């Protein structure tokens, strides 16, 4: 079957399932908001009930959210939630933890050094590299602006 690009595009649009964009956005908002609400709730508990400083409570909250995301990834539940909630699970700390844990889990059959050790940051590595580089560049610009202004 010979088709030009426009005919093929019409063919695909006619047969492709419609994406429920409004529903997907709602679920992403609710799940992402729920993750943030959990984090804020933990933060409030640690600052008010446990008497931690804001910085310490934030650190403990981040550690707990990372642990939950990695544990859910390890038992295969995070992917199910992500399929249902879409981008809502990509709240930065949980999405990052899932990316690192998924890479490690996928590579475990190749051993600890050449598998897990070599491939654990395949997804998250670029984020670390370019995030660090951008932070250093912005810091340099900020420092230089203080000298010359």
CA dist 112 and 66 (Å) reads 21
Average pLDDT of the chain, as a whole number: 89
Contact 32, 81 (CB under 8 A): no
CA dihedral over 115, 121, 126, 129, signed as positive or negative? negative
Supply the pLDDT for residue 13.
85
- Six-digit token pair at 120? 């654990």
Task: Convert the pLDDT of each residue in 55-68 to its tens digit.
Answer: 999 999 999 999 99
**What pLDDT, on a 0 to 100 scale, did the predictor assign at position 2?**
77
pLDDT band, very low/low/confident/very high, at 53 (cuts 50, 70, 90)? very high
pTM tops 0.75: no
The torsion angle over the Cα atoms of residues 104, 108, 112 and 114, rounded to 10 degrees, is -90
Residue 111 has pLDDT above 70, yes or no: yes
pLDDT of residue 147: 82
């Amino acid at each position: 079957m010979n088709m030009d690009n426009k005919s093929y595009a019409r063919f695909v649009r006619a047969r492709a399932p419609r994406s429920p964009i409004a529903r997907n956005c709602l679920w992403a908002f609710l799940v992402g908001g729920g993750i943030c609400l959990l984090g804020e709730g933990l933060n409030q508990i640690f600052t008010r009930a446990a008497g931690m400083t804001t910085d310490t409570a934030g650190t403990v909250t981040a550690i707990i959210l990372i642990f939950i995301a990695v544990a859910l990834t390890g038992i295969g539940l995070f992917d199910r939630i992500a399929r249902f909630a879409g981008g809502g699970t990509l709240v930065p700390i949980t999405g990052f933890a899932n990316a690192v844990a998924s890479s490690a889990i996928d590579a475990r059959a190749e051993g600890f050094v050449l598998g897990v050790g070599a491939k654990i940051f395949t997804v998250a590595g670029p984020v670390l590299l370019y995030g660090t580089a951008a932070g250093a560049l912005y810091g340099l610009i900020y420092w230089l602006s203080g000298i010359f202004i």
